[in-house]
Amino acid sequence: MTEALEKGSSGTGGAYVVGDSKLWRFRPNQLPEGWYHENGDRFPEGTDEYEVLDSFTPEFKADNGITLSVIGGINILSLPTAYHTDSRGMFRRPGTPVGRQVPDTMLPITGTTSGPAGAGGGTALFGTATGALSQSSGSDLETFAGGGNTQNRRVLTLNSGNLSPNHNGTETAGLHVLLTPAIYLGTPR
């Protein structure tokens, strides 16, 4: 593991630690020397890349998805991959434990309220519901008894998911700048 902690030159006067991971504005085939695209490429035993990947601790390998496979009796180690099985790029953020995948945290905001439906089941109280709001139709009216009277009640529902980019428009979606995820192995490609 001491080899994995040695620093290598970035080619620009700085230094990187072997195993460092970074997002680059370069295309994968234009990465600086010693950097490898985190795309799951595999390297057989006896290569410089294999030796560096093998020098990492078991925890580092597990946290970063560096896997060992045996093909035709030859040990092969894979680079980490920064892509989900459906090709989405991973969103990187601080967290514990390292390498854990968590689902999208942008959940719809929802809520419900209700009130009298108005004469004949009309929409006198709420008017027309648009955007994130929806309301029960005439056939979905609830009936409740209050104060000795039985009344129809219209339900108004708020669901911010109605405004998500998957439903209506891009105004709620951030603009994404695509970068190349890479790991520093310090070996020539």
Counting other chains too, the contacts that 53-60 makes at CB distance below 8 Å and 24 or more residues apart are 53/77, 53/78, 53/79, 53/185, 55/1, 55/3, 55/4, 55/18, 56/1, 56/4, 56/19, 57/1, 60/4, 60/19
- Say yes or no to pLDDT of 166 above 90: no
- Say yes or no to pLDDT of 129 above 90: no
Show the tokens assigned to 164: 């998500």
- The mean predicted confidence, pLDDT, of the chain is 74
For the stretch 14-69, pLDDT in tens is 688 999 999 999 999 999 999 999 999 999 999 999 999 999 999 999 988 899 99
* pTM of the model as a whole: 0.58
Residue 129 φ/ψ, nearest 5 degrees: -95, 130
